[in-house]
Amino acid sequence: MKKVVIVGAGVAGLSAAFNIQEKSKQNGQKVDYLLVEKDRHLGGKLITEKLEGFLIEGGPDCFVSEKPAVLQLSAQLGIKDRLLTSNEDNKGTFVLSGGKLHKLPEGLMLMVPTKILPFALSPLISWPGKLRMGLDLILPKKEGDFDETLAGFVNRRLGREALDKIAAPLIGGIHGGDPETMSLKASFPRFLQMEQNYGSMIRAMLAARAKMPPAQPSSAGKPKHTYFMTFINGMEELAQTLGKRLDRNKIMLGKQVTRIERRTGPEGNPAYTVHISGTDPVEADAVILAAPAPNAAELVENLDAGIAENLRGIPMGSSANISVAYRKEDIPFNLNTFGFVIPAIEQRKINAVTYTSTKWDFRIPDDKYVLLRTFVGGAKNQELASLDDRELMGLVRREFNGILGITAEPVLFKIHRWIKARPQYTMGHLDRMAAIESRLDQSLGLYIAGGSYRGIGVPDCITDGLKAAEKVMDYLHSGSG
């Protein structure tokens, strides 16, 4: 039987393994797999911890439902009833501007106003800034196919104030990246399509809004889907469910792939020897590298130095997220929104705060508490993510006091650091990917998948893992492998 080794059991590797298993069952042409993970934990960046009754997310805390991969996979796994919608009654995000929190005006989609009155009345953007955003309606669309940075694009269409106060903290923050270096084509290709199709971001968003289903009246109960969604037991629930559906004998936890060798197999096809720490090497017909770019680079160095060099060209950023719980009575205001983002121009040391216990149910032991999550590091303050626990705790408490007036002692404080772990799709990312893919095409039986490459979101990583599995199956069944 043909065999595939999958390196890395993040959501991409797990999805790849699951797809190989399911496709093998369906089409009768069995392919064996081995999923090797260097940590003892399954799920990679999907880390959910239960501490003193609080549910703490170490990595992603949700996914966007407009990309259907998580919803489809949940249906396939039979866990649709475990999906959790955000609490829309308290929807709304604030922006810190001039030291004060301002609500993002109603009708703002991504970064584009679609309702005139709330936007006009909002003090967040100055009048010259608002007029500049309105110019989007008449400015010509970009000619030519060249890439540009996210900052360049927003500045060109909507102006500097919209970039600094809305796009950079809200959209740049998703990647933990710097809008001044982020490739628009690689990170937000949709914006480019909108400009090309409608000639204006405002017109594109108005058209998108017109196509949206009407909002359900609140009397209709909780909606089935919200834009942001998660699982009742947190994002790791997805990884755990995938893990349970795989054959336990085909998963190696706490074992690192240290080297991959390629030789010519008995039928002239490429064959791989995969060296794994603390155990015998494994022979395989194909390998999926579902590991972050720097790890993948180390493993392909001896197979194809060109692929390795391009993988090393994908920069990795650092950030830390810190969950902080308080007694409700210690919070001097009502937490009735999803939280706020902080533009870099405010020069604070935290980037955003999510009011976790407001946004989601099932995150606190009972109503006597609240849970907040804040972010440090990212584009401008990478080094802050590496501060030690005491320093980070001091920093967060000073910022919470300065911005929110919270002086109380937290009842829980949990830090998750992601040092050089957040892939950045900077200018040139698509060229690097094209170079990697053209070399992989010649490198039969070798595939890459995951958040470093074709989309950082959990739905993107699932899609990428599933596709890698399909390519492997096609390759092995084509008689080449």
Describe the crossing of helices 11-27 and 236-245 by its angle, rounded to 10 degrees: 30
> Which one, 114 or 443, has the nearer CB to ligand FAD?
443
Q: Is 46 in the site for ligand FAD (CB under 6 A)?
A: yes
Does residue 10 interact with ligand FAD by CB under 6 A? yes
User: Could you tell me which of 465, 442, 445 has the C-alpha nearest to residue 455?
Assistant: 465
Name the H helices within 277-381.
Answer: 293-300, 305-312, 356-359
Do residues 349 and 395 touch, judged by C-beta distance below 8 A? yes
Phi-psi region of 378 (alpha: psi -120 to 50; beta: other; left: phi over 0): left
Dist CA 111 CA 346 (whole Å): 19
Binding status of residue 422 toward ligand FAD by CB under 6 A: yes
Other beta carbons less than 10 A from residue 8's beta carbon:
26
Site string for ligand FAD, 59-98 (x = CB under 6 A): xxxxx-----------------------------------
Q: How many CB atoms lie within 10 A of CB 469?
A: 29
C-beta of 354: minimal distance to ligand FAD in Å?
9
Q: Which helix (H) or strand (E) is 4 found in, with range?
A: strand 2-7
Interface with ligand FAD includes 292 (CB under 6 A)?
yes
Of 41-49, 76-84, 187-195, 404-412, which part binds ligand FAD (CB under 6 A)?
41-49
Give the start-end residues of each E strand in 8-111.
31-37, 48-51, 54-57, 63-64, 83-85, 93-97, 100-103, 108-109
Q: Which two tokens stand for residue 119?
A: 């936007």
Q: How many residues does the chain have?
A: 481
Euclidean distance between the first and the last CA atom of the chain, given in angstroms as a whole number? 11
Closest CB to ligand FAD among residues 255, 328: 255
Q: How far apart are CA 3 and CA 269, in angstroms?
A: 13
- Rounded to the nearest whole angstrom, what is the least distance from the CB of residue 466 to ligand FAD in the complex? 12
Residue 357 touches ligand FAD, criterion: CB under 6 A? no
Choose one: 37-45, 129-137, 243-251, 390-398; the region binding ligand FAD (CB under 6 A). 37-45
- Which residues does residue 34 pair with via DSSP β-bridges, in sequence order? 5
456 binds ligand FAD (CB under 6 A): yes
Among positions 315-334, residues that touch ligand FAD (CB under 6 A) are 319, 321
Q: Select 292 or 481, whichever has its Cβ closest to ligand FAD.
A: 292
Residue 129 lies near ligand FAD (rule: CB under 6 A): no
Comparison of 64 and 408: residue with beta carbon closer to ligand FAD? 64
17, 19, 44, 113: residue in contact with ligand FAD (rule CB under 6 A): 44
The nearer residue to ligand FAD, 56 or 124, going by C-beta atoms, is 56
Task: Choose, by CB under 6 A, the member of 8, 129, 159, 377 that binds ligand FAD.
Answer: 8
DSSP string, 236-279: HHHHHHHHHHS-GGGEEES--EEEEEEEE-TTSSEEEEEEETTS
Judged by CB under 6 A, which of 4, 5, 6, 7 binds ligand FAD? 7
CB of 294 to ligand FAD, least distance (A): 9
In whole angstroms, the minimum distance from the beta carbon of 252 to ligand FAD comes to: 8
**173 touches ligand FAD by CB under 6 A:** no
Could you give the 3-state DSSP secondary structure of residue 280?
Answer: coil
Q: Binding residue for ligand FAD (CB under 6 A) from 129, 159, 243, 451?
A: 451
Q: Is position 243 an interface residue for ligand FAD (rule: CB under 6 A)?
A: no
Q: What share of the chain is helix, strand, coil (3-state, %, to 5)?
A: 40, 25, 35
Residue 240 to residue 92: CA distance in whole angstroms: 31
Least distance in angstroms from the C-beta of 208 to ligand FAD: 20
Establish if 3 lies at the interface with ligand FAD (CB under 6 A): no
* Binding window for ligand FAD (CB under 6 A); candidates: 32-40, 153-161, 183-191, 347-355: 32-40
Q: Does 457 bind ligand FAD (CB under 6 A)?
A: yes
Binding site for ligand FAD (CB under 6 A): 7-13, 36-39, 44-46, 59-63, 256-257, 290-292, 295, 319, 321, 418, 421-422, 450-451, 456-458, 461
